[in-house]
Amino acid sequence: MAHITTSDVQVWLETTKLAISSIDPTLEVDVSNEVISQLTGQFGAYTPTWVDNTSTPQIVKQIIAMEYAGWVYDRAFSEVVTNEAQVSYGATLRGWATNLINDILGGSILIAEIGSGPVNEAPIFYPTDVSSTWDAWRANIDCNDNSLGPAKFGMGKVFLWPLRRSAVVSESIR
């Protein structure tokens, strides 16, 4: 199932210069895989659900359509760039799509259907209660605060490493 429709792509193309009647499935799969794979690092929990036009977020569909339109345009016109300052319209569209991806990954553009920023913003185990703050730890003079957990070691405590009996016997034989 395609992630974009002909109308999504036609938005980026001048109809008098290039009108498309259908989506090339091979090119669409290649472009959508490229775009979605770039977003998978931060939105991996969501990207497997982006399988068609209805499940893919609007901004992601826009990026796929821009990339697709850029490639279709360059295929149709095959403009020869004669100097470094001249860039084809297809390359310009692909550049805009790349900028949008970078802005999404950088957090300056949010995917509306997801809501907040990337899934991997902060570890979920990071403590958010006040019991683990420096003031709470310092105020816990007698170690009766169960929220901090039991002390793992203290000053003057002797640690005995358990020795296996066979190790002690083998050393005494030598």
Q: Residue 50: which of 119, 12, 3, 118 has the closest Cα? A: 3
Report the alpha-carbon distance of residue 107 to residue 148 in Å, rounded: 35
**Does 131 score more than 60 pLDDT?**
no
As given in the structure block, the two tokens for residue 1 are 């199932």
For residue 32, what pLDDT is reported? 92
pLDDT tens-digit readout, 24-81: 999 999 999 999 899 888 888 888 888 888 888 899 999 999 999 999 998 888 766 6
Q: Please tell me what DSSP assigns to residue 126.
A: S
**Does 125 score more than 80 pLDDT?**
no
Report the alpha-carbon distance of residue 93 to residue 11 in Å, rounded: 12
Q: Residue 97: which of 134, 67, 141 has the closest Cα? A: 67
For residue 74, what pLDDT is reported? 86
Q: By the 8 A CB rule, do 59 and 79 touch?
A: no
Residue 72: Cβ-neighbour burial (10 angstroms; 0-12, 13-18, 19+): buried
Q: Please report where in the chains the tokens 């003057």 appear, as a residue.
A: 156
| Amino acid identity, position 16 | T
Question: Which pLDDT band holds residue 155 (cuts at 50, 70, 90)?
Answer: low
As given in the structure block, the two tokens for residue 152 are 């793992």
| Amino acid identity, position 168 | V
**Does 17 score more than 80 pLDDT?**
yes
For residue 28, what pLDDT is reported? 92
pLDDT tens-digit readout, 83-121: 666 778 888 899 999 999 998 888 888 888 876 554 455
Question: Which pLDDT band holds residue 150 (cuts at 50, 70, 90)?
Answer: low
**Overall residue count recorded for the chain in this entry:** 174
For residue 64, what pLDDT is reported? 93
Longest CA span, the chain: 96
Q: By the 8 A CB rule, do 53 and 4 touch?
A: yes
For residue 115, what pLDDT is reported? 63
Q: What is the DSSP string of 26-59?
A: HHHHHHHHHHHHHHHHHHTTTGGG--STTTS-HH
For residue 66, what pLDDT is reported? 94
